[in-house]
């Protein structure tokens, strides 16, 4: 019987991408049931990775975002020598392949992207139609197994404590995620979110706003326009957001990391798209509604509207998103 490999995965650096990375992790676990699978990822990802049963441990590589830091990558790679038989490099950058190269891991698998000949030993072809379809592209690195939607574990004890702390009742509130680290071309306007919040509260639901401290200005504006909402931006850890979103009756989100979190914990999700396309990175959820105007200038995949009008989001009315939410609310609540 062949010995089970020890696998190192170089993980992505965004919340949504890390959630979608589970499509690869689950395929690797299916192909190598007894393998030890570790993920090299930023420290912030540890709480997320802990909710993925396929992974043994997360290894923190303290690098500045966007920085080459060649010497540190070389030093870190040398520390890992002899520990792994296979590496999967999920990001497409040249620098992301350096650690497994310096670790002398015999098999180093990834897409070619930034001409990584030599750094990778196994280059997996990436068809044009999958270049922006992140979950499918990640899964393709396994070259086998079954495609499965991400499924994050929920800590029910922590969930119950959080619900009590913030005065929320499971399945009686709607989670709104109005932020987007990518940029303003992904953010449905605050006044529209406020209008939706008022609509949901009129239907008898509580409304909670989720996001990082970087989203606090946006959520504060919504809270001002929709008195009565619970503003949690910057008040929860990532693992807390996972557990609370899992308790929501419904989530409404821009194309963001928390959108993928909602899908991965089984919460019905309305996903609002602007400069990106729902065909590329949809929430991988059974109960979902994708709202996108599909204008002639969309998708541009730009952080800031190149035409300075942002019509893809500014002309998307509350009624259209509320109708999508209503269709999901008419479905039986998940257990």
Peptide bond preceding 299 in cis form (omega within 30 of 0): yes
Per-residue confidence (pLDDT) for residue 1, from 0 to 100: 39
How long, in residues, is the chain? 335
| Superfamily of domain 6-140, CATH level 4 | Glycogen Phosphorylase B; (3.40.50.2000)
DSSP string, 95-139: GGGHHHHHTT-SEEEE--TTT-BTTBSEEPP--GGGTT-HHHHHH
Per-residue confidence (pLDDT) for residue 53, from 0 to 100: 97
For residue 93, the tally of other CB atoms under 10 A from its CB is 15
Identify the CA nearest to 264 among candidates 10, 58, 18, 88. Answer: 18
How far is 303 from 216, CA to CA, in rounded Å?
19
User: What are the boundaries of each domain within the chain?
Assistant: 6-140, 157-329
Contact 169/179 with Cβ under 8 angstroms? no
How far is 155 from 175, CA to CA, in rounded Å?
18
Would you state the structure tokens that stand for residue 43, as one six-digit string?
A: 């420290």
How far is 246 from 58, CA to CA, in rounded Å?
23
List of the chain residues with pLDDT < 70: 1-3, 334-335
DSSP state of 201: H
Identify the CA nearest to 325 among candidates 285, 273, 268, 282. Answer: 268
Contact 322/196 with Cβ under 8 angstroms? yes
Helix extents (H) in 214-303: 216-225, 238-247, 257-264
How far is 328 from 324, CA to CA, in rounded Å?
7
Distances (CA, A) of 328 to 66, 215, 250, 318, 323: 39, 26, 8, 16, 9
How far is 313 from 269, CA to CA, in rounded Å?
18
Range 157-329 classified under CATH 3.30.1390.10: no
Our measurement of the distance from residue 97's CA atom to the centroid of its chain's CA atoms, rounded to an integer in Å, reads 22
Per-residue confidence (pLDDT) for residue 334, from 0 to 100: 62
Would you state the structure tokens that stand for residue 296, as one six-digit string?
A: 């002639």
Per-residue confidence (pLDDT) for residue 207, from 0 to 100: 98
Burial group, residue 46, by CB count within 10 angstroms (0-12, 13-18, 19+):
middle
Per-residue confidence (pLDDT) for residue 201, from 0 to 100: 98
Would you state the structure tokens that stand for residue 237, as one six-digit string?
A: 């850890």
How far is 108 from 110, CA to CA, in rounded Å?
7
Residues 6+ apart with CB under 8 A from 31: 142, 144, 145
């Amino acid at each position: 019987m062949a010995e089970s490999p020890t696998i190192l995965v170089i993980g992505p650096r965004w919340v949504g991408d890390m959630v979608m990375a589970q499509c690869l992790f689950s395929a690797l676990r299916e192909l190598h049931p007894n393998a030890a699978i570790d993920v090299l990822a930023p420290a912030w990802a540890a709480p997320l990775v802990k909710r993925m049963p396929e992974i043994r441990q997360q290894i923190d590589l303290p690098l500045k975002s966007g920085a080459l830091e060649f010497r540190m990558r070389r030093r870190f790679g040398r520390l890992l020598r002899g520990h792994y038989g296979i590496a999967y490099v999920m990001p497409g950058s040249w620098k992301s392949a350096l650690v497994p190269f310096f670790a002398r891991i015999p098999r180093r698998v990834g897409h070619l992207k930034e001409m990584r000949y030599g750094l990778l030993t196994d280059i997996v072809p990436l068809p044009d139609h999958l270049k922006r379809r992140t979950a499918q592209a990640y899964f393709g690195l396994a070259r086998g197994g079954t495609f499965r939607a991400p499924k994050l574990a929920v800590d029910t004890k922590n969930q119950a404590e959080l619900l009590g702390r913030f005065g929320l009742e499971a399945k009686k509130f709607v989670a709104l995620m109005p932020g987007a680290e990518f940029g303003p071309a992904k953010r449905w306007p605050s006044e529209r979110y406020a209008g939706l919040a008022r609509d949901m509260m009129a239907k008898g639901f509580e409304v909670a706003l989720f996001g990082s401290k970087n989203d606090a200005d946006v959520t504060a504006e919504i809270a001002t326009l929709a008195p009565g909402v619970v503003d949690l931006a910057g008040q929860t850890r990532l693992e807390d957001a996972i557990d609370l979103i899992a308790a929501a009756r419904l989530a409404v989100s821009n194309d963001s990391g928390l959108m993928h979190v909602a899908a991965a914990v089984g919460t019905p999700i309305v996903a609002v798209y602007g400069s990106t396309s729902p065909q590329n990175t949809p929430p991988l959820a059974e109960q979902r509604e994708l709202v996108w105007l599909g204008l002639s200038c969309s998708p541009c995949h730009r952080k800031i509207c190149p035409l300075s009008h942002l019509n893809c989001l500014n002309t998307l009315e509350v009624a259209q998103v509320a109708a999508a939410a209503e269709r999901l609310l008419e479905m039986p609540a998940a257990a």
